[in-house]
Amino acid sequence: MTRGTSDTPLPKGIHRIFALPDADLSALWDSIVMDESDKEQLLAQAIANFTVRAKVDRSVIPMHEVILLVGPPGTGKTSLAKGLASQVAKVFKGVKLRLLEVDPHGLTSSAMGKTQRAVADLFSQSIAEAAMTGPTIVLLDEVETLAADRSKLSLEANPVDVHRATDAVLGPAHI
């Protein structure tokens, strides 16, 4: 695992960077109790995201390289995601993959416009710069911290910054 040092601090919004594969993360994968065929399907989808996506025009297949895990708190979604990242790296022997773990709480601000700017910078700069060094998997845990359900938002009940932060997360540059 890599952490920022005083010489090389982590970019804002990035909590940790893992070099993959990682033995501890692989152990998480093994510890998740679920149907093995579901695990295999999840791994196959993640591998397809790295191998097929770049070769297929988005207008032909609108695959967005996103895997969304949904479920109640405490069911192992984060552990599964971290383990999955390590398993993907095992498939690509000799390729240096990394896992960026995003800290969504580090991006929020009560100042108008700062959350939107921090989220936009995370996607357009921090993650983009990290991905320039090689294949990168991004774990955006607790996405609801940054992106609210648009169908439940109203300008009367939610600050404009909540709307803008959601737009920054869902913006076309990130799809």
Q: pLDDT tens digits for 116-128?
A: 777 778 878 888 8
- Residue 12's pLDDT band (cuts 50, 70, 90): confident
- Helix spans in 15-159 (H): 23-31, 36-51, 77-91, 114-121, 128-131
The predicted pLDDT at position 58 comes to: 72
The predicted pLDDT at position 78 comes to: 93
The predicted pLDDT at position 171 comes to: 56
Do residues 112 and 161 lie in contact, with contact meaning Cβ atoms separated by under 8 Å? Answer: yes
What DSSP character marks residue 154?
-
Do residues 116 and 62 lie in contact, with contact meaning Cβ atoms separated by under 8 Å? Answer: no
Do residues 18 and 87 lie in contact, with contact meaning Cβ atoms separated by under 8 Å? Answer: no
Structure tokens at 6: 């005083």
The predicted pLDDT at position 88 comes to: 95
Structure tokens at 146: 């940054």
Give the separation between CA 99 and CA 123, rounded to whole angstroms: 15
Closest C-alpha among 121, 83, 118 to residue 99? 83
- pLDDT above 70 coverage of the chain, percent: 71
pLDDT digits (tens, 9 = 90+) for 30-61: 999 999 999 999 999 999 888 887 788 777 77
Structural domains in the chain, sorted by start: 14-174 (3.40.50)
pLDDT digits (tens, 9 = 90+) for 125-138: 888 888 888 889 99
The predicted pLDDT at position 4 comes to: 45
Q: Look at phi and psi of residue 145 and say left if phi exceeds 0, alpha if psi is from -120 to 50, else beta.
A: alpha
What DSSP character marks residue 29?
H
